[in-house]
Chains A and B, each alone.
Chain A
């Protein structure tokens, strides 16, 4: 027994080191990130309402649409409206109306850390946000937060009804308010179904490969904002 004592001690030490390492690791990745999210929310809450003009580009494989001017209206807590200036707009349901402020409209969520990443050369914290309300359409939001500037650089939102959306923000003059200059909104088009023959269109050569393209390509809506009027 005497001979085994040093070994038992050594194993004990290794075990303690392992447990400390595990604790540190687990603690780091299940860390409650609510304070950080609340700081971001507080920054966004500086703005009671805003309007902005923008230019919208729609890149969806089955839609041929021109570049159009849009106007955006926001009012606290979660009124967000995107209007095309005098024209028809065709956008993924529920998607583009998701913005940073209405994502954080309530404090009824659980936020925990999910690592660190780098986006456009900026080190960001990855935060998973789970809404506590069962009636919420959002199932999970992953935010990539620039901790130093309290800016959401990217958000991936999974909804019950409308699939998964990804938003990438680029900030400029209005970064102080957390308002982006550019938002790229991406979503998967594979589940989108198009009507057949409703307008009695039986034209030939109507891009026969589009069905395959549809399955592989992501839809993308890019909005470049300018002329923010912040209240």
Chain B
């Protein structure tokens, strides 16, 4: 299985388009960091201007906050970059006419399909690792570290600087599960097409459509929202909220809604299993004509 996965990884990383995602992430994060380095004070003034009744001291615009800002912006776009590869995994082979040839090799369709999925997942994880290096470590290097201050919709959270890093480890781990779910959807759709554009566009359209549904606050959609995987993709932010005691002191090392994180991970994992399972079942019954 690992041999098959290695071959698939080799194929992925031989393609120039694979590196477009890494380049895009590097450019985007670099642009945000440069902008905030040059004129970050204006951003901070805008951010805290509306809480003028409070006196704020300390390095607000530090590496931890910059990484959070970047993640908020980029985790909406990263599914597109993940889809570019995952939705091409099977359809790309069909498009090149190599699918029938590959399946004559002495391993099962399930093995071959799973190795393809594992390769797509490893690519996704590498992309996120690169993003973590650039957004977190890069920002820590450029802007330094300090406590992290977050303006939530109805309250402010200040996290002690010793209490932040593990939250990012958790948040990136959560984001990895989310992105693998996106990869699984693209992977499923790629078995239906003989060119890559169709599954890529369809995957993105589904994600955009479901994101709109999950953000609309219409009671009718509230019933289905908990079952949509895109609803749960944003819950990495839960890592950055703390519990408080009776005296309203935040408790270091705690998470306000850990059950929400666990629930979201379960929903995302179920989607991954469902998408990949469906892909295996359908692919096994499929007539391979190309």
Contacts and interface: CB of A to CB of B under 8 A. Distances in A.
B58 A66 contact: no
Contact of A89 (B47, B56, B152): B56
Interface stretch (A12-20, A80-88, A108-116, A171-179): A80-88
B151 interface: yes
Contacts of A207: 154-155
- Max chain B Cβ within 10 angstroms of own Cβ: one of A88, A201, A202, A211: A88
A62 B58 contact: no
Q: What is the interface residue range for chain A against chain B?
A: 35 or more
A26 interface: no
Contacts of B237: 201, 203
B96 interface: no
A224 to B, nearest CB: 13
Question: Dominant SS at the B interface?
Answer: mixed
A65 B152 contact: no
Interface in B41-70: 46-60, 68-69
Interface residues of B, number: 48
B151 A194 contact: yes
A198 B47 contact: yes
Contact of B51 (A61, A64, A193, A200): A193
Contacts of B52: 93
Contacts of B148: 88
A206 interface: yes
Interface stretch (B1-9, B107-115, B157-165): B157-165
A223 to B, nearest CB: 14
B67 to A, nearest CB: 13
A83 B57 contact: yes
Contacts of A65: 156, 158, 249-250
Nearest to B237: A203
Contacts of A200: 72
Interface stretch (A43-51, A52-60, A122-130): A52-60
B154 A90 contact: no
B151 A64 contact: no
B155 A194 contact: yes
Nearest to A191: B53
Interface stretch (B174-182, B201-209, B240-248): B240-248
A62 B248 CA distance: 9
A141 to B, nearest CB: 20
Contacts of A196: 153
A89 B55 CA distance: 8
Contact of B155 (A57, A84, A88, A206): A206
A202 to B, nearest CB: 7
A226 to B, nearest CB: 18
Given A88-B148, A89-B56, A90-B149, 18 more contacts: A61-B155, A61-B248, A63-B155, A64-B156, A64-B241, A66-B249, A88-B56, A88-B149, A90-B56, A91-B54, A93-B53, A193-B50, A193-B51, A194-B50, A198-B46, A201-B237, A203-B237, A207-B154
Interface of A: 57-68, 83-84, 86-94, 96, 162, 191-203, 205-208, 210-211
- List the 7 closest pairs (A to B, CB-CB), nearest first: A88-B58, A195-B50, A88-B147, A87-B147, A65-B158, A59-B248, A62-B155
